[in-house]
Amino acid sequence: MYLAAVVCVLAFSRATLALDNGLMRTPPMGWLAWERYRCDIDCENDPKNCISENLFRDMADRLAEDGWRELGYVYINIDDCWSSHQRDKNGQLQADPKRFPGGIPKLARYLHDRGLKLGIYGDMGTLTCGGYPGTPMDKIDIDAKTFAAWEVDMLKYDGCYSNATEQEQGYPLMSKALNATGRPIAYSCSWPAYQGGLPPKVNYTQLGEICNLWRNYGDIQDSWSSVLTISDWFFENQDVLQPAAGPGRWNDPDMLVIGDFGLSLDQSRSQMALWAIMAAPLFMSNDLRTLDSRARAILQNKAAISINQDPMGVQGRRLLKEKSGIDVFWRPLSGNTSALVFFSRRDDMPYRYQTSLATLKYTSGSYQIYDVFAERVMPTLKASTDFVVSVNPTGVVMWYVSSPAGEKHWTPTSNALPNHFL
């Protein structure tokens, strides 16, 4: 199948470079506060939405009770503005006592009792981006030990109020300090987002040795233009980014904003499909308490999740960017299967795109197709046969494609998903 052998060799040859903590062998999934709730600390006037112990307990309840945990959404991640403005008398970070009266350890126990994991936010600089105490180099060791003592499961380490030299030294030092605690703590680095450049001037080999995931680009916003800008940047730089990803080390295009205010139904499907093709972390940033059924169906789509979580861990690529406004993306999956996405940049009307699997460099043979968002098995398709997909404006058609006939692949039934999705 197209490029599969080359990509597999690349994935396995670089697997030994990943951070040696055994974590995040598939892209992490969960919920993250920042895009939806930012730095809302006004608990007096906005108690349901402020950054507080209650907010994270509410979201943990939803993950545990509404079917999210069983699908893999297990992280509840605190972002900026959780701490007091001052360290304690021993120089340790401390949670704001009014908004987190039980402290972080109590919140961690609440999550762990529900089969969930807790992520927390820190910053390489003197201050966090929101103006709270940062973790500069002289505080790295004490803060790593503090997070471990609190039974935190993940650290997102930002880079505001630090310079390039401090980041070059500090990001590896935090990795070492986290590992030295003896507690498995996944490590998310924002280092590349502060380095910039096109293509990005980043040592991705080093990143794969010290970080489980890393932010490459600026913060996502609740808008289609933001989603499109970020995904375009990733695929325009795919020759640099794609080889860096694999089990235990992931490019992070930032949060899913599905279920908020800025995306249409088709655009929501597009973000889910593109993030699945990119092998991106799936961190929702929305209000799970009020999420509508259409957004829930997209975020809980088993086929899309399974494609994202494929254990081979190879990031997908854009194959074609057509003048018609249709882009075609491809990702190799385990068992000699693959995923295809047909995405429309158009904003006028549905577009009927004609191609064949042979044109997309699939080998000869017959393939079974599962339409991910229509949730149906399609007729067997020969590689040489032309087909037409109708793609809505700013929408997607996403397919799971079996291995060729005669090779090991799933047998479709009228009421079942491929075993790969169960």
Q: What is the pLDDT of residues 93-108, one digit of tens each?
A: 999 999 999 999 999 9
- How far apart, in whole angstroms, are the C-alpha atoms of residue 69 and residue 114? 9
Residue 196 has what pLDDT?
Answer: 77
The 10s digit of each residue's pLDDT in 164-208 is 999 999 999 999 999 999 999 999 999 999 987 777 789 999 999
Would you say residue 417 has pLDDT above 50? no
If asked whether residues 173 and 110 sit together in one domain, one would say yes
- How far apart, in whole angstroms, are the C-alpha atoms of residue 18 and residue 11? 11
Structure tokens at 157: 């380490």
Q: What angle do CA 405, 377, 402 make, to 5 degrees?
A: 30
Mean pLDDT of 355-368: 96
Lowest mean pLDDT among 8-12, 78-82, 106-110, 371-375: 8-12
Q: How long is the chain?
A: 422
If asked whether residues 152 and 182 sit together in one domain, one would say yes
Could you tell me if 161 and 119 are in contact, meaning their C-beta atoms sit under 8 angstroms apart? Answer: no
Would you say residue 15 has pLDDT above 90? no
Mean pLDDT of 113-130: 98
Catalytic residue among 219, 232, 287, 371: 219
Would you say residue 16 has pLDDT above 90? no
Contacts of 306 (CB under 8 A, 6+ apart): 420, 421
Active site residue 348: no
70 phi, psi to nearest 5 deg: -65, -20
The CATH number assigned to the domain holding 253 equals 3.20.20.70
Per-residue DSSP letters for 332-359?
Answer: EEGGGEEEEEEEE--SSS-EEEEE-TTT
- How far apart, in whole angstroms, are the C-alpha atoms of residue 215 and residue 224? 19
Average pLDDT, the chain: 92
Query: What residues are paired with 32 via a beta bridge?
Result: 77
What percent of the chain is predicted at pLDDT more than 70? 91
Residue 63 has what pLDDT?
Answer: 98
Single pTM value for the model: 0.93
403 band by pLDDT with thresholds 50, 70 and 90: confident
If asked whether residues 288 and 387 sit together in one domain, one would say no
Structure tokens at 227: 């989603």
Residue 68 lies in a domain: yes
Residue 64 lies in a domain: yes
Could you tell me if 183 and 215 are in contact, meaning their C-beta atoms sit under 8 angstroms apart? Answer: no
If asked whether residues 133 and 282 sit together in one domain, one would say yes
Q: What angle do CA 299, 301, 307 make, to 5 degrees?
A: 105
Residue 414 has what pLDDT?
Answer: 30
Active site residue 347: no
If asked whether residues 295 and 152 sit together in one domain, one would say yes
If asked whether residues 121 and 265 sit together in one domain, one would say yes
Would you say residue 89 has pLDDT above 60? yes
If asked whether residues 295 and 380 sit together in one domain, one would say no
Lowest mean pLDDT among 13-17, 108-112, 256-260: 13-17
Mean pLDDT of 140-150: 98
If asked whether residues 116 and 24 sit together in one domain, one would say yes
Last residue of a domain, one of 291, 308, 325: 308
Residue 207 lies in a domain: yes
Strand ranges across the sheet with 376-382: 317-321, 326-333, 337-344, 396-401, 366-371, 376-382
The 10s digit of each residue's pLDDT in 232-251 is 999 999 999 999 999 999 99
If asked whether residues 231 and 185 sit together in one domain, one would say yes
Q: How many domains does the chain have?
A: 2
Would you say residue 383 has pLDDT above 60? yes
If asked whether residues 269 and 410 sit together in one domain, one would say no
Task: Tell which residue, 398, 230, 251, has the closest CA to residue 314.
Answer: 251
Residue 349 lies in a domain: yes
Burial of 324 (0-12, 13-18, 19+ CB in 10 A): middle
Last residue of a domain, one of 308, 328, 346: 308
Domain membership of residue 82 as a residue range: 16-308
The 10s digit of each residue's pLDDT in 240-291 is 999 999 999 999 999 999 999 999 999 999 999 999 999 999 999 999 999 9
Would you say residue 6 has pLDDT above 80? no
Residue 146 lies in a domain: yes
If asked whether residues 295 and 341 sit together in one domain, one would say no
Could you tell me if 420 and 382 are in contact, meaning their C-beta atoms sit under 8 angstroms apart? Answer: no
- How far apart, in whole angstroms, are the C-alpha atoms of residue 273 and residue 340? 9
The CATH number assigned to the domain holding 369 equals 2.60.40.1180
Would you say residue 41 has pLDDT above 50? yes
Higher pLDDT, 144 or 11: 144
Residue 10 lies in a domain: no
Would you say residue 22 has pLDDT above 90? yes
Would you say residue 418 has pLDDT above 90? no
Residue 8 has what pLDDT?
Answer: 45
Residue 27 has what pLDDT?
Answer: 98
Residue 141 lies in a domain: yes
Catalytic residue among 123, 143, 158, 310: 158
Residue 41 lies in a domain: yes
If asked whether residues 131 and 188 sit together in one domain, one would say yes
Last residue of a domain, one of 308, 340, 356: 308
Would you say residue 74 has pLDDT above 90? yes
User: 186 by DSSP, 3-state: which?
Assistant: strand
